[in-house]
Amino acid sequence: MTETARYTVDEEKALKAAVLAGEPATCPRCEVRMTHRPIGGGSFGLGYHRQREWLLCPSCRRSAIFDVKRGTRL
């Protein structure tokens, strides 16, 4: 396995659904709480009305980045 391993599409979908529902992000593989890092708009050219959430599993080191609309309660 490499450190750039990704989740499957289904796993990412489930993760995103949980996050958008206000639930804590949990790695679908390790069942551990994931590190949650908001990536602010601006420096990535996304504008201030958009924001990205970067979820990183400290166990398997998989990560997923979601676009979330600002105003969506996380």
Binding site for Zn ion (CB under 5 A): 27, 29-30, 57, 59-60
Q: Smaller CB distance to Zn ion: residue 18 or 30? A: 30
Q: Smaller CB distance to Zn ion: residue 51 or 57? A: 57
Shortest Cβ 2–Zn ion spacing (Å): 14
CA distance 42 to 45: 5
Q: Smaller CB distance to Zn ion: residue 6 or 70? A: 6
CA distance 53 to 38: 5
What are the φ and ψ backbone dihedral angles of 9, each rounded to 5 degrees? Answer: -60, -40
